[in-house]
Amino acid sequence: MDKSIPTKVHSISILHTNDMHGSYMPFEANLDNATAQTGDSIDNLMNFDRKAMIGGFEYMASAIKSVRKIKGEDNVILLDGGDTFSDDQLGNFTKGEAMIKMMNEVNYDLMALGNHDFDYGLERTNELQKLANFPIRAANIKVKETGNPIFGEPYVIINKQGVNIGILALSYRNTPLTGNSKNIEGLEFGVGVEAVKEYLPIISEKADIIILLSHEGMAVDKIIAEEIEGIDLIVGAHSHDVISPPIKINKTYIVQALSDVAILGETEIQVSNNKIVNINANYHYLWHDQVSPDMELQKMIKQLRDPYLSKLEEKITETNTIIGRQYKSESPFDKMVTSMMIDKLNVDAAFLPGVGYGISLHGDITSEDIYKLLPHPAKIVTLEMTGEQLRKTLEQTATNLNPNDKLNTVGGLIQSSGIEYNLNLNKPIGQRVGDIKINNEVLDLEKSYKIATHTGMLSGIHNYEEFGKGTNIQKTDNILTEFVLRNLREIKELSFPKRMGEVILNK
């Protein structure tokens, strides 16, 4: 009588973080928003289910070490999806080195380059990837001079339990539209789909299981899974989504673990005959009443903060309400800033880009809280724009939020004060904005209006080209973050912004 030999099943845990944005410190979660995109996503709504302290890298380190202890060091891979070491005041002081040191302590295996990982300039990104004890890569970023992928081969092959796992890193195709163009001079950013098609045959010859570590965002990850066969798992980033349960398209699973060091993603793949036969996705929420901090990382963080402590912890003002940041709808924090620009700069309206990182302000507000929301050294600009230019700008934000081609999605809702309008994303492109008013009067397409914004918007980030076409452009040396800090210091208690509700959004 023949007895079949049972097939061995290997269980391998893929731990993953993404969009940490330099957020090594704990923060208070709220029921609607605390990190920038919770309670705000158009495609994948996520809310925290309680108000409590969450996150912090010493808690992340503890969770990582716990999984390794339970599952075994040889059964765990640790990945990061990018947008990692900037967007924070300590990040600015150390130019990203603080986050790299923390990541080295927990032994990452690979990091994908995100669009914000060039915030300190290409030369500094190169220095940081040399400081890292793990590769930082992207298949769709090429050096123009050589045609080679940035920093070397954009994939790794890791053997776990006799299974060869190939992991390919992707960056964000629209990076040139999200930051200072000088920071990425000499680089070309390609579409992730094409880069996968280029490297998949190469990796397939070396690996049994193929993972894509993607900073392209959930919507584009879905397109990749639909168009390309042979990817077993996509570990996502950029869109700050909690994908629970995992999405399965054809034979490809897609996962992602929010942002801001709030969650450690764990995707356990079960492999038999060199194929994934099942996956179990577990999201470790780093609630402080459920996870204890890692003492080694706690000590390291204290040492990193000590030289800058007085600046980081300077109390600026306080608030008894919750002032959060939203990404794809009106953002209370950005409304407060743009309202301040109107009041102090004597303009008709003010604009800022919609960005997807940050925290909620509540209680004492410190310098590092403000830098968490306004980390970049953009300078204030005033100019004049016609009503028609303003209308085109609002139509552009509608296109950014809901383009015909998901590959053209970039940025969130443009943040503004002083201008009222209705936005209907269900209408055809070019016809989505209506009932525009400034100063309680219907927008006059021929009239010129005085506008305040910053140098990033003037340079055309998020495809906002009309600012650069304005007249009487006055570039100041006034850094927006410092402008906000100066004005907040004069306020004993910060109230919820009064101009909320200027945008009526139909998603």
- Contact present, 375 and 479 (Cβ < 8 Å): no
Q: What's phi and psi for 4, nearest 5 deg?
A: -75, 140
Query: Residue written as tokens 């894509």?
Result: 212
Domain boundaries of the chain, sorted by first residue: 12-304, 314-506
The percentage of residues in the chain with a pLDDT greater than 70, rounded to a whole number, is 97
Q: What is the pLDDT of residue 45?
A: 76
- The region of weakest confidence among 153-157, 176-180, 341-345, 468-472 is 176-180
Residues 55-76 have a mean pLDDT of: 97
Is the pLDDT confidence value at 65 over 90? yes
The percentage of residues in the chain with a pLDDT greater than 90, rounded to a whole number, is 89
Residues 230-254 have a mean pLDDT of: 95
DSSP state of 51: -
Q: What is the pLDDT of residue 307?
A: 98
- The region of weakest confidence among 286-290, 367-371, 399-403 is 399-403
Confidence label for 495 from pLDDT (cuts 50, 70 and 90): very high
Q: Which residues pair with 364 in a beta bridge?
A: 318
Chain mean pLDDT for the chain: 94
Q: What is the pLDDT of residue 4?
A: 55
Q: pLDDT, tens digit, for every residue of 178-210?
A: 989 999 999 999 999 999 999 999 999 999 999
Beta carbons within 8 Å of 217's beta carbon, 6+ residues apart: 172, 236, 237, 238, 239, 409
Dist. CA 453–CA 92, nearest whole Å: 22
Alpha helices in 24-56 (DSSP H): none
Dist. CA 36–CA 346, nearest whole Å: 29
Is the pLDDT confidence value at 2 over 50? no
- The region of weakest confidence among 2-6, 94-98, 235-239 is 2-6
Q: pLDDT, tens digit, for every residue of 360-384?
A: 999 999 999 999 999 999 999 999 9
- Contact present, 81 and 214 (Cβ < 8 Å): yes
Residues 433-441 have a mean pLDDT of: 95
Dist. CA 462–CA 170, nearest whole Å: 20
The residue with greater pLDDT, 182 or 2, is 182
Domain 12-304 -> CATH class: alpha beta
Is the pLDDT confidence value at 5 over 60? no
Q: What is the CATH number assigned to the segment(s) 314-506?
A: 3.90.780.10
Question: ∠109-202-239 over CA atoms, to 5°?
Answer: 50
Question: ∠311-497-398 over CA atoms, to 5°?
Answer: 100
Phi-psi region of 143 (alpha: psi -120 to 50; beta: other; left: phi over 0): beta
Q: pLDDT, tens digit, for every residue of 246-278?
A: 999 999 999 999 999 999 999 999 999 999 999
- The region of weakest confidence among 38-52, 335-349, 492-506 is 38-52
- Contact present, 229 and 251 (Cβ < 8 Å): yes
Tokens of 322: 């919750």
